[in-house]
Structure 1
Amino acid sequence: MFKRRWLAGAVMLLFLSSCFLTGCGTKPQTQSSAPAKELTGKVIIFHAGSLTEPLKKMAQEFEAKHPGVKIELEASGSRAAAKKVTELHKPCDILASADYEVIEELLRPKYTDNNILFARNELVIAYTPKSKYANEINSSNWYQILLRPGVNYGRSDENADPCGYRTLMCWQLASKFYNDPTLYDKLYKNCPPRNIRPKSVELLAMLESGALDYAFEYKSVAEQHKLRYVALPPQINLGDIKYADFYKQAAVQVKGSEPGKMVTYQGTPIVYGVTLLKEAPNKEAAVAFLKYMLAKDGGLKILQEMGQPVLDPPLYLGTLPPELAGVAQPAQLNK
């Protein structure tokens, strides 16, 4: 069984908390003003669906500065993205996951030596003006509204997408927070397979069409698509470091990398990770893009402008290649 490598440790929680709230001592990289070397070729990025909009903007900016480079973006659930590398053996330069633990579990150390933690998020319930009881739902009664007859709500697949298993964690935590042991089972049973998609952003079209009234999404996605959303209590939205100990009470099993084996993910604050793969086909251009993506006045700025908090500065697990020295601080592990 795969175990959490660092957030369970008190030392790491304190370190991460300081980065969330105040930033750590070393400033993150800014983009260099030195003349850029001429780069060419394509950079293939497999990424979480929730990063689609900010990565599109990053790609546009980077390509404008490096016209010889084409950024190819391929969105999916983060676990599905990793399995494109490990099972389908598709070429990939960079993989960006909505949960850094996906990189730890499926990619490191065989496919990469590094895991850079760079962004945060929280769960919300997205909806539209057409949603049933749209004028009634709020942060206190959301679960009562969802369980009313005729209300359709959706989530992503926990085996493919971190938002899926985080939604199940949210429901588990809600059972404890609202002191209702039956709540998780009710929410689970009332969300049928037809309302589940491989990645959470695929639920947006179902919301717009009216096939769904509500969808569990990341806050950044709801804001980027200008959707209404219910802000969930911090005790259950997986977005507040202060409730890390409470989040640990939730755990979800998903299909592992080997047939028949299951992996347990424990509830922790949401942290995104990105990695440069060992077999990156265009390493030079991929390194340049990662430097831009993790620069305070580059990709991190775009993320913040699009409603997604960042780690300031980014942290890394494993070993950074020399070309990426300075883009992140080492995460302090409590072994």
Structure 2
Amino acid sequence: MIAITAGCTSEPKVVSVYHAGSLAQPFQAVEKNFEAANKNTDVQLEAAGSVDTIRKVTELGKQADVIGSADYRLIPQMMYPKYADWYIVFATNEIVLTYTDKSKYANEINADNWYEILQKPDVLWAFGSPNIDPCGYRTVMTIKLADFAYNKPVFNELLASHTAITIKEINGSYLITTPEALNPDTKYVTIRDKSEDLVSMTLAGGIDYAFEYRSVAEQNKMKYVELPPSINLKDVRYESTYAKVKVTISNGTIQTAAPIAYGITVPTNAVNKDLGIKYVEQVINENGQKIFRDMGQPPTVPALGSGNIPEQLKKYVEMIN
């Protein structure tokens, strides 16, 4: 009897998934599918800005079975070759400006005047930290791209005038630097470690407007301004326009503006590597694609693979290099 009882109460295998904040809701849905398909497992999700998510493994000595990043490029940049040797691109997104009925000038704001509304002295707007959160550095990129789209000094008015973020032109391209101390003028702009932290602040009326991913806006039933494709980092047709803007974040890496693409991998030092691979499968298979589609985040179909892709995932991916 003792042996049988012990067998029945064996500890579930923990699957540690470190992920971007914007993946929280879809990954919770994937967790349910995964645990139903893999008995006696316990998926533990941990959200942070993607840069910090990866740093937990590469600098803080933590062990994750899955890494999900809002920018796939961070995986080869920060994890290769020691902590990863493959990644899969599995979803897209776009930058929008969220607000509520309580936001100042909510009845006036639109895709043509949003940057003028944000400049008003009684408006408080916000974005995620570009040094920690890809949505943060993508917001900085979007604001610079707005200079070209509207032929107005949007970057100077919104960022250079109210933060320590700087910019210089180099041969027709623009290199933005986001120092560790961003020093926002908090009468006008608020910065948080990850953009998802701003959702509750916006809904509660603590801030008027926040830059977010469209999927986050839709999952939280927020109103949002849909930005032009030349600045929202969604449209591959504007890839060459986007690429004119680069951001050096505080860890020294340079991020080039490009269409938004999410990446996922299993670290080389994962404790439960096989289960990590199975979790990735649940993200990129048809069930996973449906979850992302239903939550306002278009999946990449087929998913795109690079590097030493595990055998059981190869049927889902098209290799890009």
**TM-score class normalised by the smaller sequence:** 0.7 to 0.9
Q: Where does residue 317 of structure 1 map in the other structure?
A: 306
**Contact persistence 2:33–2:282 (CA under 8 A):** no
Moved over 3 A (4+): none
Looking at structure 2, the residues matched to 330 and 311 of structure 1 have their Cα atoms a distance apart, in angstroms, of 13
Tell whether the 8 Å contact from 1:119 to 1:308 is kept in structure 2 after alignment. Answer: yes
Aligned equivalent of 1:119: 91
Shift of 1:322: 2.6
Q: Number of residue pairs matched? A: 287
- Counterpart of 1:75? 47
Answer yes or no: is 1:186 the counterpart of 2:160.
no
- Shift of residue 169, structure 1, vs aligned partner: 0.3
Equivalent pairs: percent with the same residue? 42
CA distance in 2 between partners of 1:190 and 1:57 (Å): 39
Secondary structure of 2:200's aligned partner:
helix
Equivalent residue for 1:57?
29
Partner of 1:255: 250
CA shift, 1:193, in A, is 5.9
Residue of structure 2 equivalent to 1:90: 62
Show the counterpart of 1:288: 278
| Contact kept? 1:220, 1:308, Cα under 8 Å | yes
User: Scaled by the length of structure 2, what TM-score is found?
Assistant: 0.87
Q: What pairs with 1:219-238 in structure 2 (closer than 5 Å)?
A: 219-238=214-233
Question: Which amino acid letter does the alignment assign opposite residue 215 of structure 1?
Answer: A
Query: Match of 1:7?
Result: none
Deviations 1:199-253 (A, max 9, x none): 1100011102211100000000000000000000000000011111110111111
Q: CA RMSD in A?
A: 1.4
SS at match of 1:285: helix
Map 1:1-335 onto structure 2 (within 5 A).
Answer: 40-180=12-152, 182-188=153-159, 189-190=161-162, 192=184, 194=186, 195-256=190-251, 262-296=252-286, 298-332=287-321
- Runs of 5+ unmatched residues, structure 1: 1-38, 257-261
| Uncovered stretches (5+) of structure 2, i.e. residues with no partner | 1-10, 164-183
Does the residue aligned with 1:278 lie in a helix, a strand or coil? coil
What residue identity is the alignment partner of 1:282? N
Retained in 2: the 8 A contact 1:40–1:285? no
Q: Per-residue displacement from partner, 1:116-135 (whole Å, max 9, x unpaired)?
A: 00100000000011000001
Distance in 1 separating the partners of 2:120 and 2:103: 13
**CA displacement at 1:40 relative to structure 2:** 5.0
Q: Which has the larger radius of gyration?
A: 2
Q: 1:327 offset after TM fit, Å? A: 2.6
Distance 1:320 1:67 in 2: 25
TM-score (norm: length of structure 1): 0.83
Deviates more, 1:86-95 or 1:313-322: 313-322
Tell me what 1:6 maps to. none
Give distance in 1, aligned partners of 2:23 and 2:248.
24
Separation in 1 of the partners of 2:65 and 2:18?
A: 8
Query: Equivalents in 2 of 1:324, 1:231: separation in Å?
Result: 35
SS, match of residue 200 in structure 1:
coil
Higher relative contact order, structure no. (Cα contacts within 8 Å, ≥ 6 residues apart) = 1
Q: Is contact 1:147-1:190 (8 Å) kept? A: no
- Please list the CA deviations of residues 66-99 of structure 1 after superposition, one character each: whole Å capped at 9, or x if unmatched: 2311110000000010000111011101000000
Q: Is the 8 A contact 1:197 1:203 kept in 2?
A: yes
